[in-house]
Amino acid sequence: MAIAREAAPVGSLAEARGGGLDRIDLVELYRLMLVTRGIEERGHMLFRQGKIPGSFYTGRGNEAAAVGVGFAMGIDDIGAPTQRDMGVHVARGTEPWRIFAQYMGRVDGPTAGRDGNVHMAELRLGLIAMVSHLPAMVPVATGCALAFRIRGEARVALGWSGDGSTSRSDWHEALNFAGVRRLPVVFIVDNNQFAYSTPNHLEFATKHIADRAAGYGFEGVVVDGTDVLAVHREARAAIEKARAGDGPTLLELVTLRGEGHAVHDDAFYVPRGLHDAWAPSDPLERYRAWLKANLDGFGDDEDARLREEVKALLVDALRRAEQSPLPDPATLGDGVWASPEDLDTPHHR
């Protein structure tokens, strides 16, 4: 039995405009998705070339979900995205060359080589770096929301997790606490149907993950995570509801993970035909088709120009990242401890 509301798709341009998106915004969403996919496609190539140590993860198929939410956040809002949410970093303004530097373990990555992959974030952009133990950052988002509530600030926190990590106790603790205190937080679940190889039906017994929100006393919404406009509309509504003091929302963004868990995984366990069935829902293809059909003047020319711009941006970013040095082993011990000067930031004053 489904309890959560199932969000309708966004159809017409008028609907999109009604959601506060003008032409510049609508094109920007597309550009951000192009940048997101472009970063990860180039990252994949870099990995194959042996330029990225460790492993490599992408959020292919999750671009609309990540960009749609990231774009809906207010400037002073804060979020802790997962490894499928490169689009959030891009939408918040993390510079692509620093992301490539992060991938390659260079000093100009946001973690300066201390951590890899999408384990990064810039607090000044309103983002908190994830850890591998999903959903460990969901209680952190709840804590950010608690701080906003204590200080009476009109800010909202967003906590991301995947479908698998909703099985964990810390996810429950965070949602329960947020519900009890009606905190200004929005919980985003990127449900890409597989936790590594484990399918949804072995992770949860409800029809939707969002159904569980009822158990915490707030609304759950299931959204097609490949529809960037629907994601944006629902994220914006949930964020503004939280900002108005009306408590948390759980948004389940349903997609299909476009690749394996990481590069080493060919995802043989995904049932035959599922990728084919989801192919028409590729978030970028889908949105491009929508723009061409609905947005006045958006045609092949503008599309080609945008793609060239993004390509140039990423080529330049990669060149710059490769010039960034590797960390000096002598700095290994630096930063284990925060110093009083670390509290001399806008956040702490």
**Interaction site with other proteins (CB under 8 A):** 78, 110-111, 114-115, 119-121, 123, 128-129, 131-133, 136-151, 157, 169-170, 173-174, 176-177, 180, 335-340, 342-343, 345, 347-349
Residues 325 and 107: their CA atoms lie apart, in Å, by 6
The structure tokens listed for 141 are 């988002």
Of 196, 226, 219, 194, the C-alpha closest to 67 is 226
Between 157 and 230, whose beta carbon lies closer to other proteins?
157
Between 61 and 159, whose beta carbon lies closer to other proteins?
159
Smallest distance from other proteins to CB 76, Å: 11
Residues 37 and 58: their CA atoms lie apart, in Å, by 9
Count CA atoms within 13 Å of residue 209 on its CB side: 31
The structure tokens listed for 325 are 């040095």
Q: What is the DSSP string of 95-130?
A: -HHHHHHHHTT-TTSTTTTSS-TT----GGGTB---
Residues 312 and 69: their CA atoms lie apart, in Å, by 26
Smallest distance from other proteins to CB 211, Å: 21
Between 104 and 121, whose beta carbon lies closer to other proteins?
121
Smallest distance from other proteins to CB 113, Å: 10
**Coil/strand/helix, residue 279:** helix
Q: Give Cα 10 to chain centroid, integer Å.
A: 20
Other C-beta atoms closer than 10 Å to the C-beta of 334 total 11
The structure tokens listed for 55 are 């492993």
Smallest distance from other proteins to CB 130, Å: 9
> Angle, nearest 10°, between helix axes 96-103 and 23-48?
20
The structure tokens listed for 169 are 């106790």
Between 49 and 339, whose beta carbon lies closer to other proteins?
339
Smallest distance from other proteins to CB 78, Å: 7
Between 120 and 251, whose beta carbon lies closer to other proteins?
120
Torsions phi, psi for 264 (to 5 deg)? -80, -10
Smallest distance from other proteins to CB 146, Å: 5
Between 141 and 229, whose beta carbon lies closer to other proteins?
141
Between 145 and 238, whose beta carbon lies closer to other proteins?
145
Q: Give Cα 2 to chain centroid, integer Å.
A: 25
Smallest distance from other proteins to CB 74, Å: 15
